């Protein structure tokens, strides 16, 4: 095992500067980022990542889903690697840290090892996963999902954006449809470093979050169909208005989340009324529903109750409703050895910390299905993420990366 008293520290200033440099690619006027998956901006970010890793002496492999693997050799390259990474794609009005921090912290680990001539028994790899956000192509985490065997490559390549462009075509267009198969290989341990994307660490005044698992997530499209009619002459008592059913559905779903608190979540992030005329009762309302809970049994019970609520309220208002399942990501418990590696690193460094669940989905969810995995969180300002105002303290940025370095070294040399 490596002695902690000889352990180098990462270059926090360099890591911060690179986060700002990457943030300029797709930078928005409000200080955020719009670098959606497989756009020209995403290609520029990928190219920059590859150039930094090659400068650090790594070999680069790109698989057929565009996932990028930067490999630093170990003393025994027949051994499975210790990996870290996240994603470079952002929301349309995203920030500079979500995903990107985990990738560039991995690059900083590589450079710290290189500059200090530190060898590891196992190889170390930094990964960029394709289309984690799901902002341009649904569902989220598609690159890691194909790699882990959750989705087929054909399914991954066929995902379309709103203009009908597919992942496969866009990978070809930007030159990142690699020759390597997008299939999992043996991995010793996997770590993902990330901003929390929530307010808990900041509220508790803790610098590091030791993440024990990820909430289960289920996405649906709820469609309610009624009868279109004129807004003026049609009395309220005779209408078959989809919104009349939607209103109590919303209220009851918020109550459902409260009943299963404090970890239950319900979100309605997108809603469409058709035909969408100001003075016409809509024929159809389509709403995205997002349910989450870290306990899989509770999430399943919430799913059943959601469907019962929709059926009951639709019958009362004499409208027709359907619930289409868009995505199901079961609750995840991370590997205890990997959690221990993070916990030991935090304790060695003396950072304030707490253990918590991730409320957001991450590539670590799918990676954990095929490799021992855990995550490390740092606070983000006011818990804001998926927002141009997303921000993190440079001291926390450095602290998280130092934890990552130690956890990876412990795993790579044990």
Domain count, the chain: 2
Helix (H) or strand (E) run with residue 343 in it? helix 336-349
Last residue of one domain, picked from the residues 269, 300, 329: 329
Q: What pLDDT was estimated at residue 7?
A: 82
Burial 48-72 (b: 16+ CB within 10 A, else e): bbbebbeebebeeebbbbbbbbbbb
For residue 258, CA distances in Å to 253, 264, 292, 355 come to 9, 7, 12, 23
Q: What pLDDT was estimated at residue 327?
A: 86
314 shares a domain with 385? no
Last residue of one domain, picked from the residues 303, 329, 355: 329
Last residue of one domain, picked from the residues 329, 355, 376: 329
- In terms of residue numbers, what domain contains 246? 216-329
DSSP letter at 405 equals: H
Q: Would you state the structure tokens that stand for residue 290, as one six-digit string?
A: 């997002």
Mean pLDDT in residue range 3-29: 89
Query: Residue 4: pLDDT above 60?
Result: no
Q: What pLDDT was estimated at residue 3?
A: 38
Query: CA nearest 399: which of 5, 6, 12, 3?
Result: 12
33 shares a domain with 23? yes
Alpha-carbon span 280 to 158, nearest angstrom = 36
Alpha-carbon span 63 to 177, nearest angstrom = 7
Query: Residue 316: pLDDT above 90?
Result: yes
- In sequence order, the 6+-apart residues with CB closer than 8 A to the CB of 391 are 95, 97, 380, 381, 384
Three-state secondary structure string covering 47-112 = HHHHHHHHHCCCEEEEECCCCEEEEECCCCCCCCCEEEEECCCCCCCECCCCCHHHHHHHHHHHHH
Alpha-carbon span 80 to 412, nearest angstrom = 9
Q: What pLDDT was estimated at residue 6?
A: 66
What is the rounded average pLDDT for all residues in the chain?
Answer: 96
Alpha-carbon span 86 to 66, nearest angstrom = 13
CATH number of the domain bearing residue 312: 3.30.70.360
351 shares a domain with 206? yes
Contact 331, 212 (CB under 8 A): no
407: burial class by Cβ within 10 Å (0-12, 13-18, 19+)? Answer: buried
Helix, strand or coil, per DSSP, at residue 244: helix
For 119-123, 153-157, 222-226, 325-329, which range has the lowest pLDDT when averaged over its residues? 325-329
Contact 99, 91 (CB under 8 A): no
Q: What pLDDT was estimated at residue 1?
A: 33
279 shares a domain with 132? no
395 shares a domain with 269? no
**Whole-prediction pTM:** 0.84
Q: What percent of the chain has pLDDT over 70?
A: 99
256 shares a domain with 119? no
Alpha-carbon span 414 to 94, nearest angstrom = 38
Query: Residue 2: pLDDT above 70?
Result: no
Residues 323, 244, 298, 189, CA torsion sign: positive
Alpha-carbon span 207 to 394, nearest angstrom = 12
196 shares a domain with 60? yes
Express each pLDDT in 218-271 by its tens digit. 999 999 999 999 999 999 999 999 999 999 999 999 999 999 998 899 999 999
Q: What pLDDT was estimated at residue 347?
A: 97
Alpha-carbon span 308 to 325, nearest angstrom = 15
Query: Residue 108: pLDDT above 90?
Result: yes
347 shares a domain with 249? no
Contact 359, 196 (CB under 8 A): no
Helix (H) or strand (E) run with residue 234 in it? none
């Amino acid at each position: 095992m490596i002695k902690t008293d000889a352990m180098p520290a990462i270059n926090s200033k360099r890591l911060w500067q690179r986060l700002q440099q990457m943030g300029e690619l797709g930078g928005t006027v409000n200080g955020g980022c719009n670098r959606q998956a497989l756009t020209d901006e995403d290609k520029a970010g990928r190219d920059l990542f590859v150039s930094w890793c090659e400068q650090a002496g790594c070999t680069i492999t790109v698989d057929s889903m565009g996932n990028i693997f930067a490999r630093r050799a170990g003393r025994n390259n027949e051994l499975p690697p210790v990996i870290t990474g996240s994603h470079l794609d952002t929301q349309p009005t995203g920030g500079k840290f979500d995903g990107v921090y985990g990738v560039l912290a991995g690059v900083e680990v590589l450079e710290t090892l290189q500059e200090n001539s530190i060898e590891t028994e196992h190889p170390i790899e930094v990964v960029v996963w394709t289309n984690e956000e799901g902002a341009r192509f649904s569902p989220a985490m598609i690159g890691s999902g194909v790699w882990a065997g959750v989705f087929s490559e054909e399914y991954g390549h066929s995902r379309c954006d709103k203009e009908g462009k597919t992942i496969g075509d866009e990978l070809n267009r930007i030159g990142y449809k690699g020759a390597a198969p997008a299939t999992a290989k043996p991995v010793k341990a996997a770590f993902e470093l990330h901003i929390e994307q929530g307010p808990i660490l900041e509220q508790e005044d803790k610098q590091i979050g030791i993440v024990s698992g990820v909430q289960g997530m289920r996405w649906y499209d709820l469609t309610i169909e009624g009868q279109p009619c004129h807004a003026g002459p049609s009395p309220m008592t005779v209408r078959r208005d989809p919104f009349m059913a939607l209103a109590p559905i919303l209220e009851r779903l918020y109550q459902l989340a409260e009943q299963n608190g404090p970890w239950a979540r319900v979100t309605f992030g997108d809603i469409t009324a058709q035909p969408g005329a100001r003075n016409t009762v809509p024929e159809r309302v389509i709403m995205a529903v997002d349910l989450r809970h870290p306990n899989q049994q509770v999430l399943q019970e919430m799913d059943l109750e959601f469907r019962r609520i929709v059926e009951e309220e639709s019958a009362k208002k004499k409208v027709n409703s359907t619930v289409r399942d868009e995505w199901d990501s079961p609750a995840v418990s991370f590997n205890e050895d990997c959690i221990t590696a993070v916990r030991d690193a935090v304790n060695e460094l003396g950072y304030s910390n707490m253990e918590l669940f991730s409320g957001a989905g991450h590539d670590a969810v799918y990676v954990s299905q095929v490799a021992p995995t855990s995550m490390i969180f740092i606070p983000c300002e006011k818990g804001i993420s998926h927002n141009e105002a997303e921000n993190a303290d440079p001291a926390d940025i450095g602290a998280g990366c130092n934890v990552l370095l130690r956890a990876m070294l412990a795993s790579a040399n044990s």
